[in-house]
């Protein structure tokens, strides 16, 4: 499959969006590097049924034939993609997106029956990032940050890949406006840290330039499912809420690494 990261302007993160929950027995990247046999749709569906026991869950075939992780990390509303391997399960589901990872409902943490759980959620429309890591059921690190809301959550010790960003080694370089104009309100761009977090925690990236050793996410198969919450809002109600939220968002700042 064509390497999408290299078809974009070099270094530009122009549409990075994720809604991921990763369950790993140990290291999340290692099962993907060894290319084990994929566990099948039944295992993927069982994961979803542990999270959503009362929901309607049906197989979903994407109109654009999404079959790999690179295209499914931010699925449509009411759709989930799951990749399952021995020792690793990856859930792509917009229901896990939150500004406060520490408040993620316990059923999501328990469903994978794994020692390590990783949350990774970012959205390029608002330049927001949230990620968290639980070990043996205990939250070790959680960060939620955006330029308009600042730091919503900053719990636990910073992880190694974060240090250079907090130290100011990856500032946002303005691409528009006169020199000395408004400075970016954060010492780094959340999407840049988001890609670094994804590489460090899971071994792959979604946008930007792939580095030697990065896992090719387009080679990771996924299974699609349609989700229906009998007690939830209708799709029309959610669409109206989403449009109202977008209308309130401030202008987005460009990022060039």
92 contacts 31 by C-beta, under 8 angstroms: no
What is the C-alpha separation between 205 and 9, in angstroms, rounded? 16
- Beta strand 138-146 pairing with 88-93: unpaired
pTM: 0.83
Q: What are phi and psi of 49, to 5 degrees?
A: -70, -25
The model's pLDDT over 32-67, given as tens digits with 9 standing for 90+, comes to: 888 767 778 999 999 999 999 999 999 998 776 668
For range 209-219, the mean pLDDT: 88
Report the C-alpha gap between 215 and 206 in whole angstroms. Answer: 10
Distance CA 49, CA 53 (A): 5
Strand, coil or helix: 232? coil
Run of H or E including 82: strand 79-85
Average pLDDT in the chain: 84
Residues 131 and 118: their CA atoms lie apart, in Å, by 7
Top-confidence residue, 13 or 168: 168
- What is the predicted pLDDT for the residue at 10? 30
pLDDT score recorded for residue 173: 78
Q: Confidence band (pLDDT; 50, 70, 90) for 257?
A: very low
What is the per-residue pLDDT across 79-126, written as a single tens digit (0 to 9) for each?
A: 999 999 988 999 999 999 999 999 999 999 999 888 999 999 999 989
256 in Cβ contact with 12 (< 8 Å): yes
Is the CB of residue 209 less than 8 Å from the CB of residue 199?
no
As to burial, measured by CB atoms within 10 angstroms (0-12 exposed, 13-18 middle, 19+ buried), residue 125 is exposed
Q: Look at the block and give the residue holding tokens 């636990």.
A: 156
């Amino acid at each position: 499959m064509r390497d999408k990261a290299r078809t974009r302007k070099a270094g530009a993160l122009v549409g990075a969006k994720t809604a991921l929950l990763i369950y790993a027995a140990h290291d999340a990247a290692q099962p993907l590097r060894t290319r084990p046999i994929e566990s099948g749709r039944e295992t993927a569906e069982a994961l979803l049924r542990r999270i959503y026991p009362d929901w309607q869950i049906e197989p979903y075939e994407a109109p654009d034939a999404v079959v790999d992780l690179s295209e499914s990390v931010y699925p449509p509303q009411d759709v989930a993609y799951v990749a399952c391997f021995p020792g690793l399960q990856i859930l792509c589901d917009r229901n896990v997106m939150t500004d406060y990872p520490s408040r993620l409902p316990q059923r999501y943490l328990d469903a994978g029956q794994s020692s390590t759980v990783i949350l990774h959620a970012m959205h390029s429309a608002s330049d927001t990032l949230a990620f968290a890591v639980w070990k043996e059921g205990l939250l070790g690190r959680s960060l939620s940050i955006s330029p308009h809301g600042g730091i919503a959550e900053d719990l636990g010790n910073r992880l190694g890949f974060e240090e250079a960003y907090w130290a100011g080694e990856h500032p946002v370089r303005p691409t528009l406006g006169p020199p000395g104009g408004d400075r970016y309100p954060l010492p780094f761009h959340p999407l840049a840290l988001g890609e670094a977090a994804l590489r460090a925690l899971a071994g792959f990236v979604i946008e930007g330039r792939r580095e030697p050793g990065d896992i090719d996410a387009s080679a990771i198969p996924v299974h699609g499912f349609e989700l229906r919450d009998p007690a939830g809002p209708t799709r029309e109600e959610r669409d109206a809420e989403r449009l109202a939220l977008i209308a309130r968002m401030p202008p987005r700042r460009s990022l060039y690494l």
